[in-house]
Structure 1
């Protein structure tokens, strides 16, 4: 019998130490904002996960544990069922977070005088992590085409040199929510294979394809892709368990895997904490019904934003995502400077969103050719009860009309 989950339920997150509310004053200069920024959802983590964790808590001894083999058979089955990619057990290991995994891979594969390529606009740790590790970032901006982005292979060929060692791919793309096509990924794989560039594919939103779209794992598109790829995944976005660090890596190539996993093992970074396997197994074995209902609710939230903007905020144009609960808002028709746009959202509408500039290259590093306008975008998290989303849009409407 199907169970109906309640995504309209509003959860009071006060006292839980959540990032979304806890740093508003620090990051936005005021604490009275409706937070729709950081990429976790306001939906209650499903009961089959909390029940599994609670059962383990009833055994009140939390010593050293082994990684259950059921974790890997469950992950493998989930990937083949949802993405038709047959992953081998030896390709898999735990990693303590995807951004951490990116930093680890940079330290293993990229020397201090070598470079990392990113495709802006993109999730800002793709830039901050290599920079923080003293590596140079090379920018391959995406091209804006008809309300979405495409990869610019001509510009990529121009900026790549023999110091470029690694490219970080957002697949599906964050912030624009693009499910990259098989043909695009094959072309990228061929280019990187020919230039001896490793591709890290961040596929954390892979289980959140929307509106009939489908995610394609980068490593699955060709033998060339498999030989140069490090794929990172996790149940955390889909099942709203980012606080339970449950990420994993998939590396088909023997040589890359040996170098990376040996380093992880030497530093004991491949052992999951006690609750990560429990939550992952519960999510992937029992979560399909919840996942489908959640995605349907998110799709309706996106339609709600589109309809509201069309009627009341015509100068703001939401780009419909093909995956994830993040909506890229094109606010350029407001004709505001970056600071004025942030002021509109924060100080007049009392909303906390991610401003678009953080996803682009800093102005001083932005390449002239192929550069995409960093002004005028905001990223909206619609993984929230519709009442809160409605309230947010009403606040924005009032701010724009006063």
Structure 2
């Protein structure tokens, strides 16, 4: 566990989180960045070892993805999530966001409807709009201390000519892990109305007990053939900068259309180091991940305890997965603009404004706690400094 306690200086490494915060948040102040969804931890040693060995070789010519890499993905999802997939179902992409774009471009036409569920990861909106598809939003429903899907509204929307549904599972930012029953309802509706289900499961390895990640495509042959699953080692093992992810679908027609698009765009392989990192992480990173999950849960508990004692008018929706906390600041009475300004100017703290996640995000902030406890504690003290006297 000591492995995750080390404070690593990430400045001047082209880090979006640490080197672009001033630019993104339009501030000249030195603020603590707790926004971008990557971790301030070293990845498993097996990943570093594999990359270092290849770097030492010194020649970086064309590389390809061999069957052993696919085998590690197959064994990982079977071992961790009980999902048995064929190697032929696996295609590759530089990341989950490019994969969403691929699915939208390859399997829908301009003007067709694509459904999302806000509040949700901002690229869900932009990948629909930037590709000239019609965005249909079916917002999640706040229910006590959690979020639910309004299945009546969802069915009405899907029945209205929706071509594709983008599912965030586990959900970013609200932290829900959709249950088997919820997934079966979603999948059954997509089959009924012939809606392609694109399930972004990038946070699927970061699930806290007793919750369990169930791949949507694993529920039935009918749902599987309607589903495209997107996974990556990037969130799990802190490898986002290496740009390697997988697109998995049983549906041969979907695969052929995506492959045709890849050829059209000149995509044929991944970065050499991305391939090696993916392979090493899935083959040897499991023990590291188990320790990470314990550490992240401790960080969640640290935030819960602090807010209860020091800022009782600020609450979190306790996550069932991910290292991202959905923080409810509505009792401060501050507008979204004033809230963000207060955090930046008084707290010297940068978090993702809830409004960036669409409808339902007003009054919220998203905090990244994938960092040493010392950093989490510092972030909480800054949050207190900004909001302690703000209570309507």
TM norm structure 2: 0.96
CA contact under 8 A between 2:13 and 2:19: conserved in structure 1? no
- Structure 2 CA distance for aligned equivalents of residues 237 and 270 of structure 1: 23
Structure 1, 249-258 or 230-239: larger mean CA deviation: 249-258
Distance apart, 1:182 and its partner CA: 0.7
- Structure 1 CA distance for aligned equivalents of residues 106 and 337 of structure 2: 39
CA contact under 8 A between 1:68 and 1:277: conserved in structure 2? no
Distance apart, 1:202 and its partner CA: 0.4
Q: 1:180-199 residue pairs with structure 2 within 5 A?
A: 180-199=178-197
Change over 3 Å in CA distance of 1:161–1:113 after alignment to 2: farther
1:242 and 2:229 matched: no
CA contact under 8 A between 1:167 and 1:198: conserved in structure 2? yes
Structure 2: gaps spanning 5 or more residues: none
Change over 3 Å in CA distance of 1:270–1:166 after alignment to 2: farther
1:394 and 2:391 matched: no
- Structure 1 CA distance for aligned equivalents of residues 232 and 226 of structure 2: 20
Q: 1:210-229 residue pairs with structure 2 within 5 A?
A: 210-229=208-227
Change over 3 Å in CA distance of 1:112–1:127 after alignment to 2: same
- Structure 1 CA distance for aligned equivalents of residues 297 and 25 of structure 2: 28
Report SS of the residue matched to 1:6.
helix
- Structure 2 CA distance for aligned equivalents of residues 401 and 320 of structure 1: 21
Structure 1, 74-83 or 28-37: larger mean CA deviation: 28-37
Q: Which among 80, 102, 105 is matched to residue 104 of structure 1?
A: 102
1:210-251 per-position Cα deviation (integer Å, ceiling 9, x unaligned): 132111101001222101101010111111010011100101
1:358 and 2:356 matched: yes
Distance apart, 1:37 and its partner CA: 0.3
- Structure 1 CA distance for aligned equivalents of residues 146 and 125 of structure 2: 21
Distance apart, 1:133 and its partner CA: 1.2
Distance apart, 1:337 and its partner CA: 1.1
Two-structure CA RMSD over aligned residues (Å): 1.3
CA contact under 8 A between 1:113 and 1:163: conserved in structure 2? no
1:171 and 2:169 matched: yes
Partner of 1:82: 80
CA contact under 8 A between 1:93 and 1:270: conserved in structure 2? no
Partner of 2:277: 279
Distance apart, 1:161 and its partner CA: 4.9
Partner of 1:370: none
Report SS of the residue matched to 1:388.
helix
Partner of 2:62: 64
Q: Which among 365, 385, 389 is matched to residue 372 of structure 2?
A: 385
Q: Across the two proteins, how many residue pairs are aligned to each other?
A: 388
- Structure 2 CA distance for aligned equivalents of residues 113 and 265 of structure 1: 24
Partner of 1:327: 325
- Structure 2 CA distance for aligned equivalents of residues 66 and 160 of structure 1: 39
- Structure 2 CA distance for aligned equivalents of residues 224 and 6 of structure 1: 44
1:358-384 per-position Cα deviation (integer Å, ceiling 9, x unaligned): 1114xxxxxxxxxxx432111110101
Partner of 2:123: 125
1:267-323 per-position Cα deviation (integer Å, ceiling 9, x unaligned): 332411211121011111111111011110100000000000000010111111111
Structure 1: gaps spanning 5 or more residues: 362-372
Distance apart, 1:92 and its partner CA: 0.3
- Structure 2 CA distance for aligned equivalents of residues 177 and 401 of structure 1: 25
CA contact under 8 A between 1:5 and 1:293: conserved in structure 2? no
- Structure 2 CA distance for aligned equivalents of residues 400 and 237 of structure 1: 30
- Structure 1 CA distance for aligned equivalents of residues 370 and 274 of structure 2: 22
Q: 1:278-357 residue pairs with structure 2 within 5 A?
A: 278-357=276-355
